[in-house]
Structure 1
Amino acid sequence: MAKYISENCFEYINWQSVYIEKVKVENNNLFLVLECVELTKEHPLNPFDDERETNELVLAFYDFEVLDSGYYDCSQVQKQTINIAKDCTYIEIPLLKLINDFTIVTENIKGKNKSSFVQTFEGFAWSFGEDAWGYFKLRYKRMEITWDSFYNE
């Protein structure tokens, strides 16, 4: 049993290139094991007076649906400044194939109502080369992070 459990708390997370260690789908729920995340000092479960990294945690999306999943292939672009959406080719692929070797760099809640959240995640899709930028969009009813300790606690 996890020591800390926090629900629907993305506003308290500072994303800093977090690698997905493991992925599991079970009963229409998505579980991502992450090496760590940094929680703001305002997070209700952060007992410290500053931002603090957790140790390994599980990020769970309950009753989730994949709305979009793929990566932008920028390998053929010969420009110094790249506009990913305009210059690169978007290739749709299944979510589990995309996030098999993935680092989340940023996330954005696109919408929420009483019954669900819609959220995007972007980052490095390592399986598809150094010039691949991954993107996925989920709808879910509830998100939960669980962890046992903070780094340097």
Structure 2
Amino acid sequence: MSKYISPNCFRNIAWQSVYIEEVKVENNNLYLTFEGLLITKEHPLNPFDTEWETNEAILVFYDFKVLDSGYYDCSQVPKQFRDYEKDCQYVEIPLLKLINDFTIVTEDVKEKNKSFFEQTFEGFPWNFGEDTWGYFKLRYKRMEMIWDSFHNE
């Protein structure tokens, strides 16, 4: 049994580039495992008076549905600065194929109500080359962040 379980706590995760170590889908739930996640000092389960990193953490998205999943292929774009939506070709692919080797750089809760959350995640889908930018959008009923300890605790 996990020591810390925090429901729907995205506003208390200080997102920085985080690599998805493991992906699992079971009973219509999506499990994303990270080496660690940085939580804000305002997080109700953070005992420190500053942002602090957890050790291994799992995000569980319950009753999830993939609304969009793919990447922007910019390999043919010679520009140094790219507008992914204008300059690059969007390639739609299944979520599990996209996030098999993925670093999340940013996330955004697009919609939240009593029934569900809609959230986007963007970052680097390493399996598809360095000139790509990945994107996926999920709808889920609730999320939990689960971990057992803090880094250097």
Q: Shorter-chain TM-score: what band?
A: over 0.9
Structure-1 residue corresponding to 2:42? 42
Structure-2 residue corresponding to 1:90? 90
SS at match of 2:61: strand
TM (norm. structure 1) is 0.99
| Gaps in structure 1 of 5+ consecutive residues | none
SS at match of 1:75: coil
| Gaps in structure 2 of 5+ consecutive residues | none
| 1:13 paired to 2:13 | yes
Structure-1 residue corresponding to 2:124? 124
Offset of residue 32 of structure 1: 0.6
Offset of residue 35 of structure 1: 1.2
- What amino acid is aligned across from residue 11 of structure 1 in structure 2? R
Partners of 1:40 and 1:145 lie apart in 2 by: 13
Partners of 2:58 and 2:100 lie apart in 1 by: 16
Q: 1:102-117 residue pairs with structure 2 within 5 A?
A: 102-117=102-117
Once the two structures are aligned, what percentage of the paired residues are identical? Answer: 75
Structure-1 residue corresponding to 2:140? 140
TM (norm. structure 2) is 0.99
Offset of residue 80 of structure 1: 1.4
SS at match of 1:14: coil
Q: 1:32-71 residue pairs with structure 2 within 5 A?
A: 32-71=32-71
Q: How many residues align?
A: 153
